[in-house]
Amino acid sequence: MLAFCTCCWLEMQSDAAVCPHCGAKVDDDPRAYEEKLKGALQHPLPSTRARICWLFGQRADPAGTPHLLLMLKDGDLYVRIAALRALGKIGGSSVLSVLEKAANNPSLIIRLAARQALEAARMQGNSDPRRVT
């Protein structure tokens, strides 16, 4: 199973007791992990913020939706794309209208990411089968 250190946010084995990258002790409390994920969305490195958005998408937990919606306003393009993709994996009716709006964004890259995310959300059975063109 895939795991990430809550100190350096690098990938590690899920059964590790200590992060092989930074030496931090691995915390087993899922609530503490959730809080650290939320806090990491404020990390100064855009690559870390994008990785956290990706993690929220992999978890497919609707509780991550409000945090990802905030990341759509991030100053980094790749963070916004990661947030859109994660929202597509989470899906749900509250996400569809946001993705539909983003699918008409002036930025071609954002439009494409939003349309892919919208299609992913719809393929999960979270909405009608119509496609944005």
Q: Is 5 in contact with 13 (CB distance < 8 Å)?
A: no
Q: What residues does each domain of the chain span?
A: 1-40, 46-133
**Structure-block tokens of residue 119:** 């299609």
Q: pLDDT tens-digit profile of 33-60? A: 888 889 999 999 999 999 999 999 998 8
Closest CA to 61 of 26, 100, 33: 33
Q: Strands 11-13 and 2-4: what pairing?
A: antiparallel
Please give the pLDDT value at position 3. Answer: 79
Query: CA angle, corner 49, sides to 46 and 53, nearest 5?
Result: 135
Segment 8-27 shows an average pLDDT of: 86
**pTM for this prediction:** 0.81
Reported as a single tens digit per residue, the pLDDT across 56-102 is 999 888 989 999 999 999 999 999 999 999 999 999 888 999 999 99
* Coil, strand or helix at 117: helix
- Per CATH, is 46-133 categorized as 1.10.3370.10? no
User: Amino acid letter at 66?
Assistant: P
Specify the amino acid at residue 84: L
Q: Which residue has the tokens 């990430």?
A: 4
Give the residue carrying structure tokens 């978890």: 59
